[in-house]
Amino acid sequence: MGGIVLAMHQVKIFDTTLRDGEQSPGCSMNLSEKIVMARQLEKLGVDIIEAGFAIASPMDFKSIQAIASAAPNCTIASLARCNTKDIDAAWDAVKDAKKPRIHVFLATSDVHMQFKLRMTREQVLSTITEMVAYAKAKCDDIEFSAEDASRSDREFLAQAFSNAIAAGATTINVPDTVGYSTPQEMSELIAYLKEHVTGIDGADISVHCHNDLGMGVANSLACVKAGATQVECTVNGIGERAGNASLEEIVMAIRTRKDFYDAETNINTHEIYKSSRLLSNITGVPIAPTKPIVGANAFAHEAGIHQHGMITNAQTYEIMNPDEIGVPHRALVLGKHSGKHAIRERLESMGYEIPDEELEDIFVRFKKLADQKKTITSSDLEALTLHRSRIVRPEEGTASTCQLISHSITSGSDIPKISYVKLRKDNAVMEGVEYGAGPLDAAFKAVNKMLGVDARLEDFSVRAVTEGEDSIGEAVVKISSVATGEIYTGSGISTDIVEASLQAYISGINKMFEAE
Ligand code: KIV
Ligand code: ZN
């Protein structure tokens, strides 16, 4: 690139993992999990964290406040519909943030205005003016989103954004709410808005693309090329229906194809892999092996011809270096006699800075694992660490937590399936024995009976998360509360899949206690 000066433009990354992402079924997080994720998003270097929808529930409100103090270097946004109650709640939730933002939205497409809002175009325009001004009187940093912008009449959309800017909006957001648009259409829409929205030069142009036709990332990137200065996205692309545009894909495309996009972000790409793994661990939603950037196969080269090329020169088949994304080196092995210092060093080399009290806990579990496994790899250590980071801590939750002490099962093709489980809750130890259709069914029934909970198992999976015959199994359960219908995700790891399953079930129940 010698001698060529590129006209780089800065693209802000607006992360909505904790709002749009968390809204999707199966991805809900409790307060302590949101805090852990928010800290990681700050390390990742996102510019804005959309922390929730303050009016939606007292829990959302509390989470936004907690995220604001957990990630003080990021702008913290709360979503609000265009009404005073929503805006008041949003402001109350973000006002103590160092950099608060209110994000107001109103739909502008004919289909939304007619059938959802039951408002005329004139009413929509005047509501935008009134409510953006109302929000502006509280907060300097105002984002206005025209929901379903990509299916809105262009002239009307431009007028809506002009009104928002005149009333004080500093960012205007163009959502492809239903993931209907194509890259070319999105690019043309941005160009049109740049030309027809009054005051647009003083505002950030943001895009928010859903992935219903698999074009969320392509649409976002087309907008960057057309001059968008903010992209809204989620880690691992989680979100409503087919998800939102994926943060890691957008960021790495901008970085890898700097020559094409002439743009850059503030993201510390070395934190991408860790952010992705952490989120997957928290939500229990696995990452597809072929997922770009963060999938297990993203940097695996199976075909002989590829391997040969890679050995000769990695650039033959690799357009990104896995180190850039922070993919840890897997091969390194720890032994049964490795000390705490070695564990800390290894974790640090993988990018995990662990406080002393957590290291102690990881070390105890490392020793236990070392008794069960011949060798412990970096992936084993990572599984222990990630799992540790999502354990509900009583001081952050509202209820005391329950712990598995021990268990045993009797199972076979022609004998009754019986499970014995021993638990601790509130310093009381309890034991239960139950029959079931299988040993896990029996074990889960025993837990329900001892704790007096009415929970239904909605989904269950076990998979190996590390390599080898004695690999660590991760169990993920989704349980629903019969009383409220709410779904809770729990996960557990162990070389014993029954133990992993019971830990997962109990961690789901703990979350249910915390929420109730
Ligand atoms: O998809 C959408 O339109 C949204 C808005 C609230 C920004 O999430
Ligand atoms: Zn959305």
**What does the pLDDT look like over 2-20, one tens digit per residue?**
445 557 899 999 999 999 9
Q: What mean pLDDT do residues 300-324 have?
A: 76
H/E element, 205: strand 204-209
In sequence order, the 6+-apart residues with CB closer than 8 A to the CB of 79 are 19, 50, 52, 53, 54, 90, 103, 105
Q: What is the distance in angstroms between the CA of the first residue and the CA of the last residue of the chain? A: 58
Atom of ligand 1 nearest to the CA of 19: 8
What pLDDT sits at residue 349? 77
Residue to substitute in 145, 150, 219, 232 for testing ligand 1 pocket (most ligand atoms within 8 angstroms of CB): 145
Please answer whether residues 407 and 502 qualify as being in contact, where contact means their C-beta atoms are separated by less than 8 angstroms.
yes
How many angstroms is it from 295 CA to the middle of ligand 2? 24
- How remote is the CA of residue 175 from the centroid of ligand 1, in Å? 6
CA distance 45 to 431: 47
Which pair of tokens denotes residue 94? 């973000």
Please tell me the distance from the alpha carbon of residue 472 to that of residue 466, in angstroms, as a whole number.
Answer: 6
Quick one: which atom of ligand 1 is closest to the CA of 232?
7
pTM above 0.95, yes or no: no
Copy the structure tokens of residue 375. 């060798």
> pLDDT tier at 394 (50, 70, 90 boundaries)?
very low
- C-alpha 192/C-alpha 185 separation (Å) is 10
Q: What is the rounded CA–CA span in Å between residue 243 and residue 220?
A: 13
Are 216 and 222 spatial neighbours (Cβ–Cβ below 8 Å)? no
By CB atoms closer than 10 A (0-12, 13-18, 19+), residue 25 is exposed
To test the pocket of ligand 1, the residue of 19, 104, 105, 106 to mutate (highest count of ligand atoms within 8 Å of its CB) is 105
Is 492 near ligand 1, meaning CB less than 6 Å away? no
Question: Distances from the Cα of 251 to the Cαs of 124, 290, 328, in angstroms?
Answer: 34, 18, 19
Strands (E), 27-111: 48-52, 75-81, 99-107
pLDDT given at position 277: 92
291 HSE (CA, 13 A, CB side): 23
**How far is ligand 2, taken at its centre, from the CA of residue 208, in Å?**
6
Q: Which atom of ligand 1 is nearest to the CA of 175?
A: 3
The Cα 156–Cα 123 span in angstroms is 12
Query: Does residue 470 surpass a pLDDT of 80?
Result: no
The predicted-structure confidence for 132-186, as pLDDT tens digits, reads as follows 999 999 999 999 999 999 999 999 999 999 999 999 999 999 999 999 999 999 9
Q: Which amino acid is at 320?
A: M
Residues 493-514 have a mean pLDDT of 90
pLDDT, residue 391, reads 43
Q: Which of 18, 20, 233 best tests ligand 1's pocket when mutated (most atoms within 8 Å of CB)? A: 20
CA-to-CA dists, residue 218 to 39, 46, 207, 262, angstroms = 28, 20, 12, 16
Say which residue, 28 or 229, is predicted with more confidence.
229
Distance, CA of 45 to CA of 75 (rounded, Å): 11
Averaged over 232-249, what is the pLDDT?
97
Helices 378-389, 272-283: crossing angle, 10 deg rounding: 60
Pairing of strands 428-436, 417-425: antiparallel
Q: Is 112 in the pocket of ligand 1 (CB under 6 A)?
A: no
b (16+ CB within 10 A) / e for 363-377: bebbeebbeebeebb
> Edge-to-edge strand order for the sheet containing 428-436?
402-410, 417-425, 428-436
Fill in the DSSP letter of residue 4: P
Tally of CB atoms within 10 A around 461: 14
Question: If we measure between CA atoms, which residue out of 426, 428, 437, 326 comes closest to residue 382?
Answer: 326
- Report residue 315 as tokens: 């650039």
Q: How far is the CA of 110 from the centre of ligand 1 (A)?
A: 16
| pLDDT, position 485 | 84
**Is residue 177 lining ligand 1, measured as CB closer than 6 Å?**
yes
List pLDDT tens digits, range 399-415. Answer: 568 999 999 999 999 99
